[in-house]
A = this chain, B = another copy of it.
Amino acid sequence: MNSVIDVINKRVSLRKYAQRDISKEHLNLIIDSAIKAPTAGNQCLYSIIMIKDSETKEILSKSCDNQPFIAKAPLILIFAADQQKWFDYFQHRGVKEYAKKENISFEAPQESDFIIACEDALIAAQNAVIAAESLGIGSCYIGDIIENYEFHKELLNLEDWVFPVCMLCFGYYEEDFKRVYRKRFDKKFIVFEEKYKKLTTDELEEMFEEKEKRYVENNKYNAENFAQMLYAQKTGAEFSREMARSMRVALKKWDGRKL
């Protein structure tokens, strides 16, 4: 163990923040750590949108599946997959004409460009999270920024090839904050040697045994077991359907059409 792994182990998702601003020094260290993250071909295929305005936070707290704590986060960073800058640059420097002359195809960003840019954005985001944690600043990922795509696009002035893949709330831990750790699945269900292994039903039952203790018999979903309850609460719930719709709409922009 060392101090880095100690920070990784100590982190929890923080949803209640000391009500004071992130210091300028700490903010810079968080941003610089994000930018220091590995990025495909040193292309930095992402952008960070920094939200400090309380009105925007209020709006995001509603548009991201109604989570009031978001409005109280001293700092919000939105990490966006971004191929816009590179493609604008390509167009500006005559790549279209060059491609035509060389008889190669010049296409708009497509799904693979989307995913590579998402990788850059997420790797940078996690660097920010760890740097923050080391400074006593907690964080919480908000995947719900993927919902309401058109609304967020307008709110944040996003271009077609800029996709907000995750949002992070940051704030100092409160002094008396008690960290509660959530148990992960047993390692043997996450790590496989040499090849992936489809789990048998016996293995699935063992994997989910701990989670199934969270099942409540008289639940409002008429669910008869934990799997049904979780599906009703999460995977099949309204916010997930909205996320699915949003993602489909957003991905349509990354169509690889001839430019």
Give chain A's interface residues, CB within 8 Å of chain B.
1-5, 7-9, 11, 13, 29, 31-33, 35-44, 46-53, 56, 80, 84-86, 88-90, 92-95, 98-99, 101-102, 104-107, 110-113, 115-116, 118-119, 122-123, 125-127, 129-131, 133-135, 141, 143, 146, 156-159, 162, 165-166, 182, 184-185, 187, 189-199, 201, 204-205, 207-208, 221-228, 231-232, 234-236, 240, 243-244, 246-248, 251, 256
**B204→A49 contact, CB < 8 A:** no
**B194→A231 contact, CB < 8 A:** no
Number of chain copies forming the complex = 2
CA distance A45 to B16 in the complex (A): 25
Distance to closest chain B CB from A132 (angstroms): 10
**A204→B88 contact, CB < 8 A:** yes
Known A31-B187, A90-B235, A196-B162; contact A182-B42, beta-carbon cutoff 8 A:
yes
CA distance A92 to B135 in the complex (A): 44
**B84→A8 contact, CB < 8 A:** no
Known A49-B194, A112-B240, A248-B111; contact A131-B232, beta-carbon cutoff 8 A:
no
Contact of A110 among B94, B127, B228, B244 (CB under 8 A): B244
Closest to A133 in B: B4
CA distance A237 to B214 in the complex (A): 50
> Which residues of the partner chain B approach A159 to less than 8 Å between Cβ atoms?
196, 198
